[in-house]
A and B are shown apart, each in its own frame.
Chain A
Amino acid sequence: MKGAGIIVRKELKRVFGDRKLVFSLFILPAILMIGIYSLMGNLIKSMETDITEHISEVYIVNSEEGFKQTAKAMKYEDGANVIYMTESDYAAQKADLEDRMLNGNIELIVVFDKNFESTIASYSKAGDPIPEVKVFYNSAENYSSQAYNVFSGVLSAYRTSLLAQRLGDLEQLNVFTQSDSRIVKEAKANNQFISMMLPYLITMLLFAGAMSVGVDAIAGEKERGTLASMLLSPVSRDSIVVGKLVSMAILSSLSAIVYAVSMIVAMSVMGSSMGELAESGFGNVSFGPSQCLMLLAIMLVMVYLYVAIIGLLAVLAKDTKTASTYISPVYIVVIIAGMITMFNSGKALPTYRYCIPVYGNALAIADLCSNELTATNFLASLGGTLLVAVIITFAVGRAFNSEKIMFNA
């Protein structure tokens, strides 16, 4: 196996000796990932700021003094340009106003019933008339939706003040109070988003990494006729297979690490610009050392499996183009396997499911995030994948020994 080490060194030198390749394999993905996510975060943030800071155009019909006072007390007119109008004016402009709302030029139309407060004041028994407030807004416009939300707050305060006038003591309305306390594993609560996304991202990104280095390392060399020169050396073909697979595994692990780190950085950048997400445990992974080791073990067997699969398909293909064609369907299967674990209700699954390569690994990673991975399921996930990977490795070895595959003979 001495030859394998020499081949690994050559493969690594091939990548790290080429600045363009290092850039496109390791640096560009990191820049892209962090760039895109922080851009997204900033855009969302500025959109939100813009919406909250927008002075909305609000038309209020038949407003009574009581409402105006409440609105004033709540400084409603600081964020809204309120136009009070009479019912007859409104009737004349109704079609025009609705048209302007449809086009997003005004945000809100509020129509109080005539004699609003006096109708309320004269209420004495069930069946007496109850006045109505009609609120018109455009739910497809962000400004209008925001204006609706803000106005609802004012209206609610107005309602409370009217209720207080009628009842005197608002405590009468409180039949009981409710107090909620959460009983939850901190790890699970913190990592809900992470445990949903992480298995999917890891299964997918590890494959993407292996794909980008594996196709060229085998199919590319075959296409260029450089693999044959290696087959002419006294090194055994098994050593060549091991050398190729090990170097692919090292490179794809590195690329996966780059992806993972940049994704965490990107998400915390995005999380910090989006306060709410950060609060809901967005970038909050807290793994203990044993969890880290388990995650590493799972990732290693996955990398091994991926590299073996890609190695096999790449050696069966006659050039890089064919290899990519062979690999695409596998990539789709991998993505789906990772995706299925995203929508898991949390029911405990039978152990045999953890034995299924890729899918079982994704399950194990999801459990790891929520601190629920049992030793049996962990080992099942490692064993199942490892077994399949070893079988595929033997297939790669056989393919390397086949003159039909290697020389199209």
Chain B
Amino acid sequence: MIKINNLTKIYKLGKKKMAELKTTNPEKIAVNGLSLETKEGEIFGLLGPNGAGKTTTLRCVATLLKPTDGEVSVCGFDTVKQGAEVRESICFLTNEIKLDPNFTADYMFKFFGRLHGMSEEAIEERQNMLFSQFGINDFKDKKIEELSTGMKQKAAIAVSLVHDPKVVIFDEPTSGLDIITARVVTDYLKQLKEEGKTVIISTHIMSEAEKLCDRIAVIINGQKACEGTLGEILEKTGADDLEEAFFRLYKEYNPEN
């Protein structure tokens, strides 16, 4: 479904950015030769600390960034050459990408449905289903800016799923959510998996990765440190739990610490 082959992403830093990062190197390697493949009907997790390159990887998959080297393909479409087709088959959710606060969830849903080239009937049908599933109908005519964080997140998820994508990309799915809304989101991700969709998420929360993900790739310094099911990772690292496994890997990749 998602095939990442030797992905490398190098950012060119401006003078300001270099000063910010206290470096004289004008290049920052965000992702370094990362390869992985996800299967249909699984939840795949990218686990790593802040700045490990998780978001960059997901943005490359979502066609928002172009790889410096290597290829990414989604459902057989190349993210660089066939961007429109890739965007047709994915949805990408993050906390930084938001719905326009001046519109209602109802209008936003229809707007994105139209941008995806869907017919009004198809949009209507999809809306009825998703809005009742997420309990959005109660506040669908309120402007996004008037909604609570949880309501906003629900609306954003529903809107991003308007075109029934095969692949769901979710950058930090539960970050900033209360425990109840977070549960609604993780439950829905499981349901998507059962519907046969491919779900790829990034997270730095160990328990989330443990409970939610079928397979996990531990990303450290832009490289894949370990990949496999929870059991496989524990076995490879000889640790008792994921947190312990993660620290062992982290030490291995950052020997000076």
Contacts and interface: CB of A to CB of B under 8 A. Distances in A.
B81 to A, nearest CB: 14
A6 B114 contact: yes
Nearest to B144: A226
A237 to B, nearest CB: 9
B88 A234 contact: yes
A233 B11 CA distance: 24
Given A232-B91, A409-B56, 11 more contacts: A3-B115, A13-B103, A14-B100, A14-B102, A224-B100, A225-B97, A226-B100, A229-B99, A229-B112, A230-B115, A232-B160
By Cβ-Cβ distance, the 7 closest A-B pairs, closest first, are A233-B115, A228-B97, A226-B100, A225-B98, A234-B84, A234-B87, A234-B88
B107 A13 contact: yes
A235 B111 CA distance: 12
A403 interface: yes
A47 interface: no
A40 B96 CA distance: 50
A185 interface: no
A182 interface: no
B101 A224 contact: yes
Interface stretch (B59-67, B189-197, B200-208, B209-217): B59-67
A236 B103 CA distance: 23
19 contacts: A3-B115, A6-B114, A224-B98, A224-B100, A225-B97, A225-B98, A228-B96, A228-B97, A229-B97, A232-B62, A232-B87, A232-B91, A233-B115, A233-B116, A234-B85, A234-B87, A407-B59, A407-B65, A409-B59
Contacts of A404: 12
B9 to A, nearest CB: 8
Given A228-B64, A232-B64, A2 B117 contact: yes
Interface string B52-93: 000010010011111000000000000000001101101110
Contacts of A224: 98, 100-101
Nearest to A235: B115
B221 to A, nearest CB: 18
A240 to B, nearest CB: 9
Nearest to B102: A14
A221 interface: yes
A3 B116 CA distance: 9
A403 B66 contact: yes
A226 B99 contact: yes
Given A234-B116, A234-B117, A236-B84, A10 B111 contact: yes
Contact of B64 (A7, A236, A403): A403
Contacts of B63: 232
A340 B103 CA distance: 43
A231 interface: yes
A407 B63 CA distance: 12
Nearest to A233: B115
A337 to B, nearest CB: 32
Contacts of A234: 84-85, 87-88, 115-117
A409 B107 CA distance: 31
A171 interface: no
B157 to A, nearest CB: 12
Given A403-B65, A409-B11, A6 B84 contact: no
B132 to A, nearest CB: 23
B96 A231 contact: no
Interface string B102-120: 1100010001101111000
Nearest to B12: A404
A321 B62 CA distance: 29
Contacts of A225: 96-98
A96 interface: no
Interface centre among A6, A14, A404, A407 (most CB of B within 10 A): A6
A18 interface: yes
A21 B158 CA distance: 28
A7 B111 CA distance: 8
A226 B87 contact: no
Contacts of B87: 232-234
A270 B193 CA distance: 71
A309 B11 CA distance: 28
A221 B97 CA distance: 10
Contacts of A407: 59, 64-65
A231 B96 CA distance: 13
A3 B115 CA distance: 6
Interface in A236-291: 236
A387 to B, nearest CB: 30
B166 to A, nearest CB: 14
B115 A221 contact: no
